[in-house]
Amino acid sequence: MDRLKDLKKLSHQQAFPELQFTPDLQKRIYEDIHKNEEKEEEILLAIFQLLKKKKEGFELLSNLRSRGISKFNQNEGFLYALLHSLEQKGYIAAEWRKDGNKYYFIQSKGIKVLSKLEKNNQNVLISLRGIWKGAMIHG
């Protein structure tokens, strides 16, 4: 514990002493964080729309890229963590086929959410943030 306190003191003394977080910079950072959250809901909307038809993960990833979503380019595993989270919560389901691939598809619970998302219901967007953050923790 003392080592952590020493590290904190040391970081205040030597690490970037010229770095200042002005109120304006704090506000811009806050706005940028919330812009990314909106994009996360757009990604969830796209996933639900695409999974109206069964798709394997790679096909879903390709379709998301064709929609201009590059969130998973550097970490494809995060998509699978997100799909697993959506599956655990009952929004989507998956099945293994004889070809050895896992195919994902939307469930009735997901269809209800998709309908509300398409109408841009803010309450649904707020509740979906929990899915996104849960996948980040597990991914």
| Chain segment 18-71, per-residue pLDDT in tens | 667 678 877 777 776 666 554 777 888 899 999 999 999 999 999 999 988 888
Instruction: Identify the structural domains of the chain with CATH numbers, from first to last.
Output: 25-138 (1.10.10.10)
Q: How does residue 135 score in pLDDT terms, banded at 50, 70 and 90? A: low
Between CA 133 and CA 79, with CA 102 as vertex, the angle to 5 degrees is: 25
Separation of alpha carbons 23 and 41, rounded Å: 28
pLDDT the model gives residue 79: 92
pLDDT at residue 125 tops 80? no
CA–CA separation, 4 and 10 (whole Å)? 10
- pLDDT, residue 123, reads 55
**Identity at 51, one-letter amino acid code:** L
Please give the structure tokens belonging to residue 136: 């980040």
C-alpha Rg value of the chain to the nearest Å: 20
Number of CB atoms found within 10 A of residue 129's CB: 13
Phi, psi of 104 (to 5 degrees): -110, 150
DSSP structure string for 4-20: HHHHHHHHHHHS-TT--
pLDDT greater than 60 at residue 89: yes
Structure tokens at 14: 């030597």
